[in-house]
Chains A and B, each alone.
Chain A
């Protein structure tokens, strides 16, 4: 059983953003199908479960929703997914001990698999996967006295052809895989053939945000027991082979430092029981990176953060709910000692209130759905400013109020993390005048009568990418982004990856002109792969007019001969 203390150690689990399927409301049973074959070492792989998930690689993921549709391969390794609706999906063979070709690693928490853009009733064939058996790295982690280190996370970095480090997710088969057990043993499996660095502990000067947990930590130590990366023994894993006895002997634990101070209101009175957080500050000292919050000041407004690793940080008040207050982010550097006497001032912030409306909408569903939109506001500042944690909602009558704003130009935006589809914020109006650069809020000012004008639409752009004058290198990824012409804020939701067949699909668009941009991302260097990736191709842009509803086709062309001429 684990004490809660350790549970609080920041475990970064990316909750995959799931493309909501709610708005699709199919009127008839979907009839599309996807077929393909799974092979292992060229031979058919029977009994492999293949899943179909809404969304795209790197974006798809199990949500609290229903299990994804699945099919199991037959004796010949063939699978058939039926009843597939139009839209974007990721097809993935689930074989944790195996490696997918190219491994389609989209970031550390990405999902492997193939992106498929389906049309209504389409039968997509030849979605084949050639798997290879993954390698294994196993070993034991002990302290200087040979005692097992229990429950410690083992980190894995792949070394590519050029000796560049690339972190490898060790979490995707469940948290157990990357943690040592009660005997200090660990076992990482399903690894692609490569050279690896295996380490335990916290890297130097990472400015890591830890909340809770022990104040002691092990400094980063590589196999077999060295702090310097250059002295680490590189572990070579061949396809399907096991590298065993990859042991790590740790040195002494190091103590983090304590940072304390107090939080006061504008009258200098202690802010008792105030929730606060802290986070790392990036290089230029002007922006905050990872942060955590949830600690509280005591009855005297005093706060203390324990066991902080060396680095640059800032502490701030993390208002819960709709607080009227904000604080500055008070920076501090942890070098080699405790820090005391910090003072964080709470200030009464300004507010913006008004009414939200949907332009030209008569659909009652759209009008009621605006209550589910989450608004966030951001005030541009030259100074370091803390993250805004809460978001504001729109009331049943369309009224909204955003509080605790620092002075300056507040930009209101729509949170696109889940929530209903099809909305975009067109304009923010104050006294009938569009506030393109944000709403000016004086210190403590209560700005009223602001109008948020949303667009709502169900139109779809269905696209096809054509490549002429050559072929793109294997593993090139194509991404689409969409911007409504004349819109100051990009519409984060409308975009995504182009599938292997060059197709893409953008939904939830309102009528209007859109600029569609295609970004060409060269393949990541693959160990044992061919020549280095060619330089990236400039984005391809095209403007399309979307009517009120239905599909708008678009063809984007990448002319590789054009590129060559430029060079």
Chain B
């Protein structure tokens, strides 16, 4: 008997963050049973003639031939509770980017000591994601990702992770007769952030009711939720009496009429009782064709059903490689607008595939016979080059706190859609990160056909991105500026030869936004822009940069090309807190508008190579453009 291990929660996490590196956690762990089904174990106690420990039996002849360890050092840090107290004995995970799939090659685990401190030693140069796991808590690392920031750490750096105590939603599910509804799944979708701003609905948690009909969802990220009894839910177990039922939202509603439940950190929302309706939903089913074949055991196809209003993935259906029908189905789907999309995960050795989204309207009847066609994903390969410093640069010689390595750079392909699509299924990644090899070669795999922008997170504050180019096609062989307009990838396309040129001598500006008039109030949220003054930089997005100022108005721009810039602060109160904002300078209209406003405000700074301009006070007057 063959048993497959299902990592439901992991899949959900993938759906949530769309992060490539989460794939390392997901590569299905397969367990083979010879007989019976003892839970993930074998090897009974008795050990007859155990083989000698390999360190003895194999005196490692490789030792002499082994290359010197490239260990560059360690990453240390501290885990704190949201009350500021250190958390002892907490599991900390340090995961590298890198490898052909970008899915990480190193995953190291440690525990915090009595004072909440941790250290992972013997890491090679690279970029690392650091997270901690305390059950019932949410790691600040993940919240940062949801905001679109990608906090990677390098060897020698120190990390502080804050664990936010999750909220609890609990209640009882009963039927029309007031009897408990036993073993139904109850699911929470987060629809607003902790500040009450609407966010793309994300899957919060799912638990089942007990024999009294009681459920308890804990470890919820602070925010506002819709809570639904979803019947058989996401687990595979014994047959459920609730299969095919449409979800009943709290208190006894459809999604449109559901009541919202707000939970704060560490707080409990109790008596969130649901009167289960048990109304039949409809089927959405079909087949998947196209690039499905993969001989690998981990290359299965999944199909996601996304609710268009809010963007929550409400169902996932998995197709085994060798299912001859290649069929998928969602059952108990209530009336509404949906999008269905199939995806085959890629491997480090091969590209995955994805179907184009199919819009589905469910209205009082089943939707069957959908045909989704998988098209291969694209890849982007290139090289990162650090220009040797110019004569002047060598003379000036920026001082550096640490020596950075090329392979510590994070290259990101970020999807660039002029209009942020509300209905974007959240299970497709909107950005993909990877690190280059020590020679600077990089490969970004499994990219959907779309328009992309390339960005780089640089490990040295002395570096800046000078140019991103592609070898030109045709006879002229003119180099194409891939920074100005980004690049468009077609399905299955393999773009190679991209060059990302870094230069030394980057400048830094940091400071604070202050009200121009004495006593005037600043907007609640401000976005600060840096706009090139020189005409030749006017159409170069690499010369533009923008950042959301802190609550205290503080901002820092780093990795800037030397030159003259205007500083401009704009009110950004209507920005959603948890979604990444498309930079204004990514299209020519946006750049022109920025330049007009910046020129009018006329606050200019001259940055020479390696300059550190600190404590700059940027006076804010309400944007003339508004």
Contacts A3-B139, A13-B236, A15-B3 given; does A209 touch B133 at CB 8 Å: no
Q: Shortest Cβ distance from B608 into chain A, in angstroms?
A: 37
Which of B10, B30, B106, B297 sits near A7, CB closer than 8 Å?
B10
Contacts A62-B236, A111-B238, A215-B91 given; does A290 touch B55 at CB 8 Å: no
The minimal Cβ–Cβ distance linking B100 to chain A, given in whole angstroms, is 6
One of A16, A172, A291, A393 near B293 (C-beta < 8 A): A393
Assess the A341–B183 pair: CB atoms within 8 A: no
Most buried by B among A8, A49, A97, A262: A8
- Cβ-neighbour of B348 out of A70, A215, A281, A296 (below 8 A): A296
Task: State whether the Cβ of B53 lies closer than 8 Å to any Cβ in chain A.
Answer: yes
Shortest Cβ distance from A109 into B: residue: B37
Q: Is there an interface contact between A175 and B37, defined as CB atoms closer than 8 Å? A: no
Please tell me if the beta carbons of B136 and A209 are within 8 angstroms of each other in the complex: no
**Most-contacted residue by chain B among A66, A189, A284, A285 (CB, 10 A):** A66
Contact A1 B38 (CB under 8 A): no
Contacts of B473 in A (CB 8 A): none
Contacts of A261 in B (CB 8 A): 54
Contact of B142 among A1, A171, A215 (CB under 8 A): A1
CA distance A56 to B22 in the complex (A): 37
Residues of chain B in range 119-165 having any CB-CB distance to chain A below 8 Å: 124, 131-133, 135-136, 138-139, 142
Q: Is the CB of B437 within 8 A of A291?
A: no
CA separation between A10 and B9, bound complex, in Å? 12
Closest beta carbon of chain A to B178's beta carbon, Å: 13
CB contact between A176 and one of B24, B96, B208 (< 8 Å): that residue: B208
Is A528 an interface residue when CB atoms closer than 8 A count as contact? no
A10 touches B5 (CB 8 A): yes
- Range of interface residues on B (Cβ < 8 Å): 35 or more
A312 to B220 CA separation, bound complex (whole angstroms): 39
Contact digits for A174-210, partner B, Cβ 8 Å, 1 yes 0 no: 1111000110000101100000000000011111110
* Residue pair B205, A300 in contact (C-beta under 8 Å): no
- Given A253-B89, A289-B43, A374-B321: A65 in contact with B327 (beta carbons within 8 A): yes
Which A residues are CB-close (under 8 A) to B329? 64-66
A:274-300 near B, CB below 8 Å: 275, 279-285, 287-300
For A294, give its contact among B29, B40, B49, B89 (CB under 8 Å): B29
Which chain B positions have C-beta within 8 A of A342? 54-55, 58
In the complex, A187→B211 CA distance in Å?
A: 9
Tell me which residues from 68 to 97 in chain A have a Cβ below 8 Å from any Cβ of chain B. Answer: 68, 70, 92, 94, 96-97
Judged by a CB distance under 8 angstroms, whether A540 is at the interface is: no
Q: Quick one: which of B236-279 are within 8 Å of A by CB?
A: 236-241, 243-244
Chain B residues, CB < 8 A from A68 = 239, 243
Report how many residues on chain A are interfacial, defined by Cβ distance under 8 Å: 132
B78 lies within 8 A of chain A by Cβ: no
B62–A8 touching, CB < 8 Å: no
- In the complex, the answer to whether A207 meets B324 with C-beta atoms within 8 Å is no
Q: Which of A325-333, A462-470, A503-511 contacts B (4 or more CB under 8 A)?
A: A325-333
Does A304 reach chain B (CB closer than 8 Å)? yes
Q: Are A214 and B111 in contact (CB under 8 A)?
A: yes
Q: How far is the CB of A470 from chain B (nearest CB, A)?
A: 30
A-B contact count (CB 8 A): 391
Q: Which of these, A4, A17, A20, A294, contacts B1 with CB under 8 Å?
A: A17
B589 sits at the interface (CB 8 A): no
The distance in angstroms between the C-alpha atoms of A129 and B295, with both chains bound, is 44
Partner of A67, one of B34, B298, B331: B331
* A83, B272: Cα distance in complex, Å: 40
Contacts of B103 in A (CB 8 A): 296
- Asked if A160 is at the interface of the complex by the 8 Å CB criterion, the answer is no
A109 to B39, CA, bound (A): 10
Q: Which residues of B contact A14 (CB under 8 A)?
A: 3, 37
Q: Which residues of A contact B46 (CB under 8 A)?
A: 283
Task: List the 8 shortest-distance A-B pairs measured between CB atoms, nearest first.
Answer: A289-B42, A207-B43, A294-B27, A174-B208, A67-B243, A214-B91, A7-B10, A49-B241
User: What 8 new A-B contacts, CB under 8 Å, besides A176-B210, A283-B43?
Assistant: A61-B239, A62-B237, A68-B239, A177-B183, A182-B136, A299-B124, A330-B54, A393-B293
18 inter-chain pairs at a CB distance below 8 angstroms, sorted by A residue, are: A1-B138, A2-B219, A7-B25, A11-B6, A12-B39, A64-B329, A174-B183, A182-B216, A207-B44, A215-B110, A272-B99, A279-B42, A283-B44, A294-B29, A296-B105, A299-B98, A299-B124, A331-B54
The residues of B with any CB-CB pair to A shorter than 8 Å are: 1-10, 13-14, 22, 24-34, 36-55, 58, 60, 62-63, 65-67, 69-70, 89, 91, 93, 96, 98-101, 103-111, 124, 131-133, 135-136, 138-139, 142, 166, 168, 182-183, 185, 204-205, 207-208, 210-211, 215-216, 218-221, 232-233, 235-241, 243-244, 283, 285, 293-299, 317-325, 327-329, 331-332, 347-350, 437-438
Name A's B-contacting residues (CB within 8 A). Answer: 1-8, 10-17, 20, 22, 49, 51, 53, 61-62, 64-68, 70, 92, 94, 96-97, 107-109, 111-112, 134, 136, 150-151, 167, 171-177, 181-182, 187, 189-190, 203-209, 211-216, 253, 255, 261-262, 264, 268, 270, 272-273, 275, 279-285, 287-300, 304, 306-307, 311-312, 320-322, 330-333, 335, 339-343, 369, 372-374, 387, 389-393, 415, 417-420
